[in-house]
Amino acid sequence: MNWITRERPKIDRIACPWLIRNFIDSDAHFFYVPFDQVIEKAAALNAIPFDVPGVELTHQQDQCTFDALIKKYQLNDPALHAMAPIVRAADTDQHHLSNQAAGLWAIAAGMSYNIKDDLELLQAGTVIYDALYTWAKHLQDVKHTESPVEQLLVDVYQKYLKKGKTGKIPAWATELKTIIQDQIDTNLALSLTGVSQELKVNPAYVSREFSKYFDNLSFGEYIRKLRIDKAIVFMDTSDYSFSEIAYLTGFSDQSHFARIFKQETGLTPSAYRKNALKGKIHPNS
């Protein structure tokens, strides 16, 4: 089936073709034409017009065309109903209706500015809506920081800072070490600046206090050590390549990983893995 709408799409006229092709008409062909030619071209192409005034599939009251399609074709997928207010809010400039709307608008506007061919823009925009659908279906409750370590670090710091310094090794320090070790299989992508911002505390203060209770290491040194420990676990228990291990442990690239690994262990990753295969003892043992 042919479908037709106005040229230069941004939100609804990208979201709707994505919806049509994935849930209504898998063989759909889309045409973008000047506003004043949509109805005339629709008749000539035997195409269904959408998102223009005076047709069935268009804005109705506070609803957008994406909503109209869901209603007409009785699409009951919960993920689509989670997407609908995001598309509606972005398309009608009512960003207060959805936390994700402003971001979707910013991406759509930038893409429309960069890509002048409408069908090429549709192809690129499809990737965005594929991702949004996956988020709505599987990831709505997932945080950007998958590791619980960062929040736990903030929590124990807050507990310590509220109580004040006692002169003894605080319970939070012992607790934090235990927590981090329990969660070592996560990606420790932590930063002193990020933690300090969460705490609303000067980074210099956090840095000074941290080293007192974490093996006389700075924040960066301690996290780097944990990354290397995590890398060693991967090398001992998996067949991951060094580039894969570098990615999984938060290093910028394999070269960076190899350099830090040698600083921490005295061996290159290749030498360590070779020794491990021969059954030699860990260099830090």
Express each pLDDT in 31-40 by its tens digit. 999 999 999 9
Structure tokens at 255: 């070269």
Confidence at residue 143, expressed as pLDDT on a 0 to 100 scale = 65
Residue 232, exposed/middle/buried by CB under 10 A (0-12, 13-18, 19+)? buried
pLDDT value at residue 201: 55
Q: Where are the domains of the chain?
A: 2-139, 149-277
Give mean pLDDT, residues 191-218: 62
- Please tell me the pTM assigned to this model: 0.55
pLDDT of residue 115: 97
pLDDT level of residue 252 (50, 70, 90 thresholds): confident
Mean pLDDT of the chain: 81
| 158-180 mean pLDDT | 53
Residue 34 token pair:
């000047």
Report the pLDDT value the prediction gives residue 196, as an integer from 0 to 100.
53
Q: How far is CA 33 from the centre of its chain?
A: 35
Which residue, chain included where needed, has tokens 């269904």?
48
Q: What is the mean pLDDT of residues 256-279?
A: 87
Q: What is the pLDDT of residues 4-35, one digit of tens each?
A: 999 999 999 999 999 999 999 999 999 999 99
- Based on the number of CB atoms within 10 Å of its own CB, is 68 exposed (0-12), middle (13-18) or buried (19 or more)? buried
Higher pLDDT, 109 or 236: 109
Residue the block writes with tokens 């957008």: 64
Q: What is the pLDDT of residue 154?
A: 57
pLDDT at residue number 245: 87
Looking at residues 29-57, what average pLDDT do you find? Answer: 96
Does pLDDT of 120 surpass 70?
yes
Give the pLDDT band of residue 179 (cuts 50, 70, 90): very low
Which fold is adopted by the domain 149-277? Arc Repressor Mutant, subunit A (1.10.10)
Return the H-helix or E-strand segment holding 2: strand 2-6
> What is the average pLDDT across 43-55?
96
pLDDT in tens, 132-145: 999 999 988 776 65
Give the whole-number percent of the chain exceeding pLDDT 90: 49
182 vs 240, residue with greater confidence: 240
Query: Among 11, 65, 6, which Cα is nearest to 40's?
Result: 6
- How does pLDDT run across 61-115, given as a tens digit for each residue? 889 999 999 999 999 999 999 999 999 999 999 898 898 999 999 999 999 999 9
